[in-house]
Structure 1
Amino acid sequence: MPTRVINVRTSNSSVKLIETKNMSGIFAALSYCWGDSSILEDIKLTQAKLSVYKKRILMDSLPKTLFDAVMITRELGIPYLWIGSLCIIQDSLQDWQIESSRMSDVYMSAFLVLAATKARDSNGGFYLENRTRILQLPYLDVDGRQHFLYARRIQDQSHVHDANGRLESHGLYNKLLRRRGWVLQEQVLARRTLSFAKDKMLWNCRECSTCECRTGFSNFESDASFLHINLDFKLQSSSSREVYKSIYSNWHTMVEAYSHRSLTYQTGKIPAISGIAKLLHDMTQDDYYAGLWRSQLPKALLWTSIKFNEEDTESEKRLPSWSWASTRSGGITYDHKDEEFKAGMEIVSVDIQLSGSNAFGGVLGGKLEVKAVLIPIQATSELPRSISTYIMDFKEKKGTFRRIMILVDLDQNYYDQNKPTESAIEFKKNISLFLMFVGTRTLTQYAETPSFLALRYLEEDERGNSIFMRAGIAALNGWSTHLLDRVRAATKESIVLI
């Protein structure tokens, strides 16, 4: 049982908060979009309201989504309901950190997750609109007793699958809820989910997914099952290489999808998937650093910002620039996550400063100490500010020049189109960056492609190590095997990435 749950069986007019120490029982959990936080301002659990809510919470005081969730839980005969805004003390950082670290247990152990997929916010509610009319047809059996047959028109099923065989969002999985960061974890971890869309209900569990628009149960995939990390799978052997590849490939696929989702507070970007991260750690015993796994370094550094976010959002400046979670772009991608990779740099140490006791939760900062080959480069032309890919010349350390086209996709954290920040620079002719050789991707048995990050030099630390931040990812045209051999043979430098 979670630390606190709502007892929905107290009276028709109220419910109450209970602390579950030494308790057992079944409970439902609510998944919904908070929306405008002011709606919950007067009702959310605070330290001052804790003792009050243990006595009663008036049903009339609940926003409609929470009210409906209580009513549905009662009708299903489930005694308890977990709602984050009422079961986590919202003005206690300590309580929030502890409870968010247990999120995986909440959604994995819930008997049922109720998803308010149609609701824009806490006032949106559950109940369905524009439902197909149900006909009641009386008939007599052979003994003359009257019975009723219920029938409805078959609903349009053209929207059930998207191009990838997953549930399409139209009518079934509301786009608002799909875009919410915290919901992904709730989808992936839940054993059973009952979703209330605009005009129908959707059922999803480990065995199947279906909706009211269909005449029977089916095994088509939902968005959650597509992102699933084989929660029921147990590692048979620590040497099972294919198993590990599958697990981490699924993780990177999930991160790509998650990076497009929105969060009310950007500080929640790492905590919002902490439950999934903890689960993967339990399966692999791998170390976790701000969204990246130790066993996947340095390859996991090679993420790409696929577009700039046009909205005016705050970046998460505390997160290390080498983590995908630091970007405020409209999404990231791991373009070559399933290709064979040979490291060309060494990871010396990783130092992560956590915001609390949860090893998979919030991060205040992080340093990555590496040994790598660095290559200074300079821009040869000043391009329009709207272009995020630049052409540069390669300058070898010995002073000789080799003309190579270097396309650098700059991260938005490094170069903000609209607002200069601490880490942004005016990108002009002769501004120097450094390429860091990360390793090579194997395309065929005889062909390799090098992978580079673009770095910006910041300063030296107290030990004399050069400190850099990630500026972007680089792709080179006109590369030669001879030049690759020279880079591999070059001396690695000790540097720190922040």
Structure 2
Amino acid sequence: MPLPRRVLNLSLSDNSDGEVCLHESLRDESGSYICLSHCWGGVTALQTTRSNLQARKLGISRDDVPQTFRDAIFVTQGWAYNISGSTVFASYKMTSRTGRSKPLSCAQSNRNASLTVAATRCQDSTGALFPPFQRTVNSFDGAGVPITVALHVRSPHLDMQVTGSRYPLLERGWFFQERLLSRGVVHFGYDETFWECMTCSDCECQCLDMRGGSILDPPLKSILHWNSTKAPPISQQEVWHRLVGEHTDLSLTYPTDREIAIMGLVGEMRPYSKGLYLRGLWQDSIISDLAWMDSVPAPARSKRGPTWSWCNVDTCCHYLLNSVCAGDVKFLG
């Protein structure tokens, strides 16, 4: 797969200094790489600017790398060397502006990655992917015979509908797109990891599988990556309405990213649409696409986009019943 514009070359971190280096990819350079998704949080992570770009290419000390990145490097090296034994690359963003100025390029990076490592439980880049397990051990004295019982309390599972602040990354608008575009995502939780790909989702204790559910059920991921000659299980219109509803319910550091943060998904939807994309709506389903409602009335942001688009408000938006729209509404021009 084509490499992103800038990646971290992890092959150097076998040396005594434990360094990695920034690599600027050539136009036609390809390779395998793993992406990292994490919350920015209120902490200023290690940044690369024009003034230190050349120094970053020579090497970055592991001690200067935030804990989340450090753990991701460890994970990436272990997986990649066991699979291919080749040089390892990891996705690297130069600044927080990269994804905002080049949303389609960043979306393509997630789409082409071999895997996405998600720091789902971490509030910022200082969090560890491997927190201490919470275990409770009680000792009892039964009739003079010492008995030791080890108890492990199963933590609540990853659930898109009941996340609260327990899994901060799931509340972020940019990660919603990264998660759906990635071929596979490994979520690092509190006591176990969760796996999510195009066809299924599961966890270490297999409780998700026992419940017969998916983190997104029916999984939008499998529909977005649909490549069968058969029609998708739900319509393009329904898929888009679900995407908008879930995306607009998430948080963004910059409210102006409301439409930008979903443009990669727009690209995935184009093959299923016969019309143009019109600032949050599709030409061939424009009647029903116009029938959105905001959950809490809020003033429109006139400078952000057209007043008829959900891109222009900051609250969660949802759609009216398609049957009502199709039967009772006419588009006059």
Do residues 190 (structure 1) and 182 (structure 2) align?
yes
Correspondence for 2:84? none
Deviation at 1:27, TM superposition (A): 0.7
Contact 2:236–2:273 (8 Å) recurs in 1: no
Instruction: Choose which of 316, 319, 331 in structure 2 pairs with 1:334.
Output: 319
Correspondence for 1:63? 66
Contact 2:287–2:326 (8 Å) recurs in 1: no
Contact 1:229–1:251 (8 Å) recurs in 2: no
Give the direction of change, closer, same or farther, for the CA distance of 1:27–1:339 in structure 2 (3 Å limit): farther
1:203 match: secondary structure: strand
Instruction: Choose which of 97, 100, 107 in structure 1 pairs with 2:101.
Output: 97
Correspondence for 1:81? 90
Do residues 200 (structure 1) and 192 (structure 2) align?
yes
Correspondence for 1:7? 9
Deviation at 1:287, TM superposition (A): 1.2
Deviation at 1:244, TM superposition (A): 9.7
Correspondence for 1:425? none
Matches within 5 A, 1:218-367: 220-223=213-216, 226-228=219-221, 230-234=223-227, 236=229, 246-307=235-296, 317-329=303-315, 331-337=316-322, 339=324, 341-342=326-327, 343-347=329-333
> Aligned partners of 1:303 and 1:190: how far apart in 2?
28
Correspondence for 2:142? none
Give the direction of change, closer, same or farther, for the CA distance of 1:304–1:236 in structure 2 (3 Å limit): same
Give the direction of change, closer, same or farther, for the CA distance of 1:230–1:97 in structure 2 (3 Å limit): same
2:178 match: secondary structure: helix
Instruction: Choose which of 107, 111, 117 in structure 2 pairs with 1:108.
Output: 111
Contact 1:45–1:90 (8 Å) recurs in 2: no
> Aligned partners of 2:262 and 2:172: how far apart in 1?
12
Correspondence for 2:140? none
TM score, norm. by length of structure 2: 0.80
2:206 match: secondary structure: coil
2:243 match: secondary structure: helix
Gaps of 5+ in 2: 82-87, 138-149
Deviation at 1:340, TM superposition (A): 5.4
| Structure with greater contact order relative to length (CA < 8 Å, sep ≥ 6) | 2
Letter in 2 for 1:191: R
Structure 1 segments of 4 or more deviating over 6 A? none
Give the direction of change, closer, same or farther, for the CA distance of 1:289–1:51 in structure 2 (3 Å limit): farther
Contact 2:177–2:264 (8 Å) recurs in 1: yes
- Of 64-73 and 179-188, the range deviating more from structure 2: 64-73
Matches within 5 A, 1:476-491: none
1:277 match: secondary structure: helix
Deviation at 1:155, TM superposition (A): 5.4
Give the direction of change, closer, same or farther, for the CA distance of 1:316–1:127 in structure 2 (3 Å limit): farther
1:233 match: secondary structure: coil
**Residues 290-315 of structure 1, C-alpha deviation per residue, up to 9 Å, x if partnerless?**
21111121321121111257xxx995
Instruction: Choose which of 147, 153, 156 in structure 1 pairs with 2:154.
Output: 156
2:12 match: secondary structure: coil
Letter in 2 for 1:106: S
Deviation at 1:224, TM superposition (A): 7.8
Give the direction of change, closer, same or farther, for the CA distance of 1:227–1:208 in structure 2 (3 Å limit): closer
Correspondence for 1:181? 173
> Aligned partners of 1:209 and 1:119: how far apart in 2?
20
Greater Cα radius of gyration, structure 1 or 2? 1
> Aligned partners of 1:177 and 1:7: how far apart in 2?
25
Letter in 2 for 1:280: M
Contact 1:184–1:224 (8 Å) recurs in 2: no
> Aligned partners of 2:44 and 2:36: how far apart in 1?
17
Deviation at 1:190, TM superposition (A): 1.3
Give the direction of change, closer, same or farther, for the CA distance of 1:316–1:223 in structure 2 (3 Å limit): farther
Gaps of 5+ in 1: 135-151, 348-498
Correspondence for 1:123? 126
Correspondence for 1:381? none
Give the direction of change, closer, same or farther, for the CA distance of 1:231–1:216 in structure 2 (3 Å limit): closer
> Aligned partners of 1:213 and 1:235: how far apart in 2?
32
Deviation at 1:96, TM superposition (A): 5.1
Give the direction of change, closer, same or farther, for the CA distance of 1:314–1:335 in structure 2 (3 Å limit): closer
Correspondence for 1:209? 201
Matches within 5 A, 1:37-52: 38-40=43-45, 43-52=46-55
- Normalized per residue, the structure richer in helix is 2
1:297 match: secondary structure: helix
- Of 62-71 and 185-194, the range deviating more from structure 2: 62-71
1:346 match: secondary structure: coil
> Aligned partners of 1:189 and 1:91: how far apart in 2?
20
> Aligned partners of 1:260 and 1:194: how far apart in 2?
23
Deviation at 1:71, TM superposition (A): 1.7
